[in-house]
Each structure stands twice: as C-alpha cells, then as structure tokens.
Structure 1
Amino acid sequence: MSKLIIFLLATLILSSNAAVQDFCVADLKAPESPSGYSCKSVTNVTVDDFVFSGLSAAGNTASIIKAAVTPAFAAQFPGLNGLGLSAARLDLAPGGVIPFHTHPGASEVLLVTQGSITAGFVSSANSVYLKTLKKGDIMIFPQGLLHFQMSHAGYTSVGFVFFSSSNPGLQITDFALFANDLPTKLVGATTFLDEATIKKLKGVLGGTN
C-alpha cells in the first residue's frame, strides 16, 4: 500500500510540474485583450524576449510638458506579458511635468536616479500626499489614484517607475478633458472653468468643439 501511495504522489508531482507554464511571451502579431496578449509558441521564444535595453537612452523632452516617458510594457518588452509587472523611464527637463494621470490597472513605484522630482497623489477622500524626492528616494502611487511628477532641479531629472501590471493603462486628466471633441459647454459645466479658458486649453492640446 505504501509503495502505491508513493507512486501516486510521484505521478501527481510530475503531472503538476508538467502543467506549469513558466511564462507567456507576448505574441505581438496577435490582438491584445484585457487580459494581455496570447502566448508566442515556446519554440519561437529566445533570450532576447526577456531582455530590454530601451530604458538606457534618455527620452526626448522637447514637448509641451518638457518631459518624456519611455515605456517597457508588454508591447515593447514581450517577456513581461502575464507576469504582473512592467517599467518605464521618466526624463524631466527643468520645469518638466508628467501631468495628473491615473493607471487603472496598476500601482506604481517611482525611483529617482538623477536630480529631484516633486511627486504626489490625491486619495479618494481628496487628501493630498506630496513630497520632493531626491536621488535614491522612492515613492508609491496606489492603483487608480490621480498622481503627477514634476522636476525641480536646474537640469534634467531622471526616474524609473515600476508597475504591478504588464499593461498598467494610462489616462491623463488634461488630455481627457481638452484633447478631444467633448463639448466646451459640457466641460465648463463639469469643471466650473469658463469657456474662454477651455477653448484656450483645447487649442493647446488639439481638442475641438
């Protein structure tokens, strides 16, 4: 009987190990779903799927926000697919800002590696958590909450952010309000801004109506 039990246990362990899927490298040729990309065939997976060098170079900060975000999400780094993590690089020129935004699908950790970055988030109770971070400091932004980052150094500040999802999602508040065809009167009614200000912001960000 004991030999039979040992045999059955060994069989269960072996079948359990055989059923484990170590990874699901994204098949970028297939459509993405809310749960991520489908898996590329293991026979086509190489070590390069698990290596990404895109965060080594500074982003282009010549934009209206004087900042750049270089993502390392599943779409850029297929090996992350399904693993529940991702990263990005932030480059902020003097006065650069990553405007108020949310990540519906992930919490975020910011690590400052150069300069100083003032960062903060607003809780669902409208409490503000604000701090100027120096090199080596980290700050966490809970999932779904509005947050921002802004450079206060006299030179470009750099940070790296890490997310609890391979596709954290992104919605920038200013763009959601002023970079589309949402009617000006409706924006005014829901934000208490005057129409002249709304039209000016729409003009800057490319919105209409």
Structure 2
Amino acid sequence: MAANFVVYLAIFTFTAAFSGALASDPDLLQDVCVALPSSSGGVKVNGFACKDDANVTAADFFFDGLAKPGLINNSVGSIVTAANVEKVPGLNTLGVSLSRIDYAPGGLNPPHTHSRATEMVFVLDGELDVGFITTANKLVSKTINKGEIFVFPRGLVHFQKNNGDKAAAVIAAFNSQLPGTQSIPAALFTATPPVPDEVLTKAFQLGTKEIDKIKSKLAPKN
C-alpha cells in the first residue's frame, strides 16, 4: 500500500510540475484552423467552445480510464489510453493531458510525433528502451525502469520498446489538452488518399512490391 502511495505521489508531483512549468496551447489545438470568409455564417474556434457555467459538473473533470491496463490486441504489442480534452471536457483551455501506455512483452509504441506537445513518461512497471531523433538525425536513447522518467521534445520522432519478458506500463504527461499523435508508418503507408507509390519507392529505395507488402500489413483491420 505504501509503495502504491509513493508511485501515485510521484505521478502527481511530476504532472503538477510539468503542467505548471510547461503549460502550452496558446496556438494550435488542431492540425489546421482555416479562417472562414468574413461573409460566412459558420463558426470555427481553435479548440472547443465553452459550455455554460450553469451546466458544469464534477463529471466534466473526472476520468477513470487510466486505472486499469488497456487491452492489447494488435501486431505492435502496445495500446494507448488517452485522457485528453475529448475524454475530460474540463481540460479545455488548461493546456495539459495524460495518457496511459501499456506494452506486452516485446511490445512497441511505433515511431511517432506529437505536433502540439512535449511528452514526459513515468514508468509504472517494467523496463523500456526509449528514444527520440533530433532534426540532425541524432538518436537520443536510454533504458528506463519503474519510477523513472524520460522526456520527448515537442514535434520530434520518438518511440518506446518493451524488451523485457513481462508487461510494462507508463503514464505520459503532455503540455497540451490535445497533443495530436501522428504515427510515422501509418501516416506514410495508410494515408487517404494514399501517398503516391513513386514517392514511397524513391524515399525508401524499395520496389513497388515491397511498398504494397508494407501497406497490406499496416492496413486497418475491418
């Protein structure tokens, strides 16, 4: 019980410090926010409109989705459970959010980016190899264990890999209410409309057959 208290206290402390020091979201809360013509009657805000104060309840600030491990049912062996403004409406305009990431033995959170947030992970259980890649193509990586943290700078490609023989889990904190996640493999090989094959074959120096094979493996399962 005491050990759990220490873990929860550490999560609270690092989240509070992270949010207070790095609270963000003064600019983009969506991938794009195209201005409407002045003659248009439509309304679009960079974020979410606010509900009337009279309708605010405690439920707007509550979420229990991070309490239990997520169900891993995919080929990469990891699952992300987000606690962002879409799940916790009270986060709107506060510039913070959390996620829980669970990893099966050998599981990978594939290379991805968060265009709107820096990420800090706190290891709940297990041992992970983590890293990010700078714009100079330098890999910054480290093995982290239970109770330790690691920071992924905003916008840089990063990953986490469970190389242990037991399940692992982290809590991730973001200085954005909606960080935006773009998986590099999915973005390139499952985009709609698709990225032209001639772009992919030239970029990866692969033939069309190899590109088609990758696309078939990454295609969403119905």
Among 96, 108, 125, the alignment partner of 1:85 is 96
Residue 152 of structure 1 aligns with an amino acid whose one-letter code is N
Instruction: Determine whether 1:203 maps to 2:216.
Output: yes
**How far apart, CA to CA, are the structure 2 residues paired with 1:47 and 1:174?**
39
Among 109, 113, 118, the alignment partner of 2:124 is 113
Deviations 1:169-190 (A, max 9, x none): 1110000111132222221112
Q: CA RMSD in A?
A: 1.7
Aligned to 1:184: 197
Residues 198-207 or 104-113, more deviating: 198-207
Task: Choose between structure 1 and 2 for higher RCO, CA contacts under 8 A separated by at least 6 residues.
Answer: 2
Among 121, 128, 139, the alignment partner of 1:128 is 139
Structure number with larger C-alpha Rg: 1
Within 5 A, what are the aligned runs for 1:91-170?
A: 91-170=102-181
Q: CA deviation at 1:77?
A: 0.8
Residue 217 of structure 2 aligns with an amino acid whose one-letter code is V
Residues 160-169 or 47-56, more deviating: 47-56
Aligned with 2:202: secondary structure?
helix
Residue 101 of structure 2 aligns with an amino acid whose one-letter code is L
Residue 189 of structure 1 aligns with an amino acid whose one-letter code is K
Aligned to 2:47: 36
Task: Provide the identity percentage.
Answer: 38
Aligned with 2:186: secondary structure?
helix
The 1:35/1:114 distance shift into structure 2, 3 A limit, reads same
**How far apart, CA to CA, are the structure 1 residues paired with 2:144 and 2:157?**
18
Deviations 1:57-84 (A, max 9, x none): 2111120111100000100111111101
Q: CA deviation at 1:49?
A: 1.1
Residue 154 of structure 2 aligns with an amino acid whose one-letter code is Q
The 1:163/1:47 distance shift into structure 2, 3 A limit, reads same
Residue 60 of structure 1 aligns with an amino acid whose one-letter code is L
Q: Which consecutive unaligned segments of at least 5 residues does structure 2 have? A: 1-42
Q: Which consecutive unaligned segments of at least 5 residues does structure 1 have? A: 1-31
Residue 203 of structure 1 aligns with an amino acid whose one-letter code is S
Among 71, 75, 78, the alignment partner of 1:67 is 78
Q: CA deviation at 1:199?
A: 1.1
The 1:187/1:85 distance shift into structure 2, 3 A limit, reads same
Aligned with 1:147: secondary structure?
strand
Deviations 1:133-157 (A, max 9, x none): 1001100000000000111121110
TM-score after normalising by structure 1 = 0.80
Deviations 1:2-31 (A, max 9, x none): xxxxxxxxxxxxxxxxxxxxxxxxxxxxxx
Q: CA deviation at 1:192?
A: 2.0
